[in-house]
Amino acid sequence: MPELRKARLTARDRARLAAERLKALYTAVSELDHTDAFQMLVATILSAQTTDRSVNSVTPALFARYPEAAALAHANPAEVEAIIKPTGFFHVKAKTIIGASAALMERFHGQVPPRIEDLVTLPGVGRKTANVVLGVAFGIPGFAVDTHVKRLTRRLGLTKSTDPVKIEAQVTKMLPPEEWTGFSLRLILHGRRICLARTPRCPECVLNDFCPSSTVRAKGGRRPSTATAARTRLARGRGAARRRPGHRPGRH
């Protein structure tokens, strides 16, 4: 399978093609178990420096004991730490989720606010966490930038920046708002499983035929073989691209 002509693909082309490929690979945009915005907020805070599976192993007991902000705001830190210990950094995380819950009670009547300007005022909540909560719990478009997203957007040639705010601004200009949340969360999943920091698994990557940082050429599978075909596929939303004038079957 010939690779895409990388030089002819713009950053916008790569962003849209990556969003399409990753959507087919990761059907769910969040693997954190939750039933409401409060649980999503707490689970997202707990997910720092650990796996979603680890978080999901402790949240049932945590939410059974503290089902809402009012309960967690007045929790005994030692008891919270004992429950969330498997997620790591449990001293800091317990302090953070208790503090965030207290702030929700003091300023937002115990409810998670659906505005990023309000969410980032909560203890331990930055733009990354706020965007995840907005997108997953409220369906409000947001592009979360963590270490995985920073790495993958640079490797894909979508940005040269390492500043999360600049990356968010640049990438969101390349995609429609309805794609922001899903794309960022799928980049995180892909960064955890395939595009690893030290040893990226390029031979297994579904983006390896157009990623500027890929160490291999794509093998197998039917993918658009040129920038024109990629644009056509993205525009029409189908697997088969319109044949270019003068194109000869079997040649690329």
Note the pLDDT of residue 30. Answer: 87
> Which pTM value belongs to this model?
0.80
Q: Which amino acid is at 37?
A: A
Which residues does the annotation mark as catalytic?
A: 128, 146
18-23: average pLDDT: 96
Domain ranges of the chain: 1-30+142-238, 37-138
Q: Does domain 37-138 have CATH number 1.10.1200.10?
A: no
Note the pLDDT of residue 8. Answer: 78
For domain 1-30+142-238, give the fold. Answer: Endonuclease Iii, domain 2 (1.10.1670)
Work out the number of other CB atoms within 10 angstroms of the CB of residue 246. 5
